């Protein structure tokens, strides 16, 4: 098994998806399950199973513009069952799809469970001022809205929000 680790400054922007036209440009999605060993405004430690791969990820606080330090390490998928038992209560289930627009890959997360009905698109950038093409299926930007952070969606699921 090949283990991958890296540390980087993650610069991510998040948007709501306003229609299903993105589905015309994507393939089969990957099922994700993730839970948190710890999550607070200063740091989070996440366990994630993504298809046939599993990761432990440590993230620092998000700054203005959606940047944060991130360290990710691939772990044996067989370890995730035990690691999930160590996590805080609750998990995120979603299917992730990728859509290539220009030079960027958009990740579209279609949430299930208590967050069913929520569809969020994310784009990772190399700098906070990097320009990118915004497809017509992209809606409101929610990068700065803490409710859309996955660890917060466990605490306050989308289906409990008042419309």
Tokens 């998000």, residue? 62
36 is catalytic: yes
Residue 150 main-chain phi, psi, to 5 deg: -55, -45
Burial per residue of 126-146, b for 16 or more beta-carbon CB atoms within 10 angstroms, e otherwise: eeeeeeeebbebbeeebeeee
Contact (Cβ atoms closer than 8 angstroms) between residue 24 and residue 139: no
Find the catalytic residue in 32, 36, 97, 148.
36
Catalytic positions: 36
């Amino acid at each position: 098994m090949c283990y991958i680790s890296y540390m980087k400054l993650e610069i991510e922007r998040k948007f709501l998806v306003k229609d299903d036209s993105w589905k015309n440009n994507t393939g089969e999605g990957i099922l994700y399950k993730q839970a948190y060993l710890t999550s607070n405004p200063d740091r989070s430690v996440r366990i994630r199973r993504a298809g046939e791969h599993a990761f432990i990820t440590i993230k620092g606080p998000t700054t203005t513009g959606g940047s944060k330090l991130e360290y990710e390490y691939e772990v044996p998928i067989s370890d995730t069952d035990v690691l999930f038992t160590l996590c805080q209560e609750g998990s995120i289930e979603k299917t992730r799809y990728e859509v290539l627009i220009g030079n960027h890959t958009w990740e579209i997360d279609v949430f299930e469970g208590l967050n069913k009905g929520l569809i969020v698109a994310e784009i990772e950038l190399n700098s906070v001022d990097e320009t990118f093409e915004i497809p017509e299926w992209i809606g409101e930007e929610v990068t700065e809205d803490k409710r859309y952070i996955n660890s917060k969606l466990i605490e306050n699921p989308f289906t409990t929000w008042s419309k």
